[in-house]
Structure 1
Amino acid sequence: MSADTRLGEMGVNGLGEVDEPAFSGLAQRHRRELHVHCYRMLGSFEDAEDTVQETFLRAWRRRETFEGRSTFRAWLYRIATNACLDLLAKCRPEPATGGEVLWLQPYPDRLLDELPAGDADEPEAVAVARETIELAYLVAVQHLAPRPRAVLILRDVLGWPAKDVAELLGDSVNSVNSALQRARAGMREHLPAERQDWTGGEEDAGTRELVRRYTEAVVATDIPALASMVRDDVRSSMPPTPGLYVGHDTVVKYWAESGFEGMTGLRGVPTSVNRQPAIAFYHWREEDGAYLPLTIDVLRVTGGKIAEIITFHNDRFPRLGLPERLPADGAE
């Protein structure tokens, strides 16, 4: 049942007649998809959370402007997109540069599973939804200026007609089409060259085995083993810490010089974020008598090897629903 259908069933002619609890109920039905939309626009889970809250506040204050010419859902998307553009203009007027996004944050798969099924039976729609939430896409799209970014997401991800995007942005259809072409060209510069091989859809047995071996090698701090699993063009980064390492030898040298080798007391817990395999690593702390959060590695696998490792700090553990500590081996 759509939100618009519910408006009719409530016996009201417009949102101006809906009280705040009822309005909140209508809006909350779209929270997760709006959150993911803002996340694509902003690259930050927390900024997306704040922007969805701002969207609902603006929608409530402007409820009498909803005239029913579009769906309630589309009306919320318009407000959310403008809220994202306002935040970007205030806090991040310049797009990312140099191939890294320092404000990038991961998105847990358990929350992505809350999205409406939509066109679940159409392989193309499923592929678009999956690819456009992967970190490689998020990094690439953050390199676009805000308005072309909005055009690309509205047109290519959400499938909005050009005229609707033009109306949202207060622009002409020709300008929107031109911005879309520029945005697509910009994405090609930053997306992986072998896009069709990002992850190959659902994880296969080979990928799961590779992730298992990677986890064991990290726990053992076995750099030669890790070096055998990564591609020649592997990329490694650790937002929000600056630094993008590109190439097999560069990444392996970074591991060797980082003090990683010889580290003891590690444990790895498999998880998944942004529809990619991930491992949450914990480090034994004797004074706490437990393994405490250390880092999260998110992997992009291409052709049976690791093409990218994005490592996030331990402050991401709560948002990802990961345990705050692990007991000693064998303890309850």
Structure 2
Amino acid sequence: MNRLFRRSERGDSRRGAESSLVSEVPVLEPGDPDVARARSGDHEAFTRLVEPLRREVHAHCYRMLGSVHDADDALQEALLRAWRGFGRFEGRSSVRNWLYAISTNACLDVVERRGRRALPVDLGPASTEVGEHVPRTDVAWLGPYPDARYEQREAVELAFVAALQHLPGNQRAALLLFEVLGFTAAEIADVMKTTVTSVNSALARARRVLTAKVGGPAGLPALSKVQDARVREVVAGYTAALERGDADAFVALLTEDVTWSMPPMPHWYRGRESVMDFVSRVPMTTCGAWRHVVTSANGQPAVACYLRREGEDRHDAWSITVLTLRDGLIAELTSFIGDDHFKLFALPLSLPATS
């Protein structure tokens, strides 16, 4: 996030090279022989052109929409539109930029129909006491993103994607195209069928919102600034503390202002004392026995949590918990509850009970 804002502060008006936040996939130029073949109706040639771009464009759709499922649908729609319209590809830009333009408009159609996705912290104040809560099914919840080898961490961090959801679709698209993908304002205007003045206005408003949400140039520390050894230590400590029921060890890993949210549950907790009260009264005492599998999501450390209730002979998938670290401690826990998330991460839905 810091890098994004630093680039814009320099006032760069043209980005001839690819952004450092996108993939190393070669840019396919109009002179590529497969372009001519695809324009003449060769679907295999079209597939060779777009397949190397599929993963990074999917990540773009996720940033726009905050949901892997929505990103899947938007990508498929974009590829269909690209194939149907490839005969009209004029070669004024790379195939990559052309596909990003189509996918952005496919995402904008989804945003117009569905609106934005949310986290519990967007819906109301933190809970002041632990109580019974039920899932909210009337909210379109933000979801986690299984890691991709192409994206650098700042581009898919949970806080960044969540902040994007507070922007109208046009501002969201303009910011991502300009800051992450390196499009110029003129190119964005062409994509969005508007004027350069409108694009610059949308960018200015988007930056103000993101500055308020994630701190702008100060921002959230990028995960890359936290040494990998400390990340492993924190994740191991987190899983061990929950499995042992060691509340003191757990709280020692938290910042003073830590938050814990659990979509689709609407309640969330802020501060060590509140989180400690919750973890002592619920996960460590009344839920059952926990097992964990370390994974990663949104370019951040994450833990797949499995729960075995009393009398059962297996641990069942419960949540994917994404950990946001600051200064070597856990500043945010976001537990995405539901076994549907496990399928996205190619994780088993159950683990055998251990003695």
Band of TM-score, shorter chain: 0.7 to 0.9
Which of 246, 250, 259 is equivalent to 1:222? Answer: 246
Partner of 2:350: 325
Cα distance in 2 between the residues matched to 1:192 and 1:178? 20
Deviates most, 264-273 or 21-30: 21-30
Partner of 1:106: 144
Which of 136, 147, 154 is equivalent to 1:131? Answer: 154
Partner of 2:23: none
Which of 282, 285, 300 is equivalent to 1:261? Answer: 285
Work out whether residues 137 and 191 of structure 1, in 8 Å CA contact, stay in contact via their aligned partners in 2.
yes
Work out whether residues 95 and 142 of structure 1, in 8 Å CA contact, stay in contact via their aligned partners in 2.
yes
Work out whether residues 226 and 327 of structure 2, in 8 Å CA contact, stay in contact via their aligned partners in 1.
no
How many Å apart are 1:242 and its aligned residue?
A: 2.0
Deviates most, 181-190 or 289-298: 289-298
> What are the within-5 Å matches in structure 2 for residues 1-332 of structure 1?
2-4=27-29, 8-10=32-34, 13=36, 15-92=38-115, 96=118, 99-100=121-122, 102-109=140-147, 112-113=148-149, 115=150, 129-191=152-214, 195=219, 197-201=221-225, 203-258=227-282, 260-284=284-308, 289-313=313-337, 314-329=339-354
Give 3-state SS (helix, strand or coil) of 2:223's partner.
coil
Deviates most, 148-157 or 192-201: 192-201
Q: Provide TM-score, normalisation by structure 1.
A: 0.85
Q: 1:304–1:13: structure 2 CA closer, same or farther, 3 Å change rule? A: closer
Q: 1:240–1:317: structure 2 CA closer, same or farther, 3 Å change rule? A: same
How many Å apart are 1:107 and its aligned residue?
A: 1.4
Letter in 2 for 1:74: N
Work out whether residues 120 and 265 of structure 2, in 8 Å CA contact, stay in contact via their aligned partners in 1.
no
Q: Provide TM-score, normalisation by structure 2.
A: 0.80
Q: 1:98–1:259: structure 2 CA closer, same or farther, 3 Å change rule? A: closer
Matched residues, number: 312
- The alignment yields a C-alpha RMSD, in angstroms, of 2.5
Give 3-state SS (helix, strand or coil) of 1:312's partner.
strand
Cα distance in 1 between the residues matched to 2:253 and 2:169? 36
Cα distance in 2 between the residues matched to 1:95 and 1:271? 23
Cα distance in 1 between the residues matched to 2:352 and 2:203? 51
Deviates most, 309-318 or 259-268: 259-268
Letter in 2 for 1:184: R
State the structure with bigger RCO (CA 8 A, min sep 6), 1 or 2. 2
Structure 1: gaps of 5 or more residues: 116-125
Cα distance in 2 between the residues matched to 1:192 and 1:218? 31
Identity of aligned pairs, percent? 40
Work out whether residues 103 and 240 of structure 1, in 8 Å CA contact, stay in contact via their aligned partners in 2.
yes
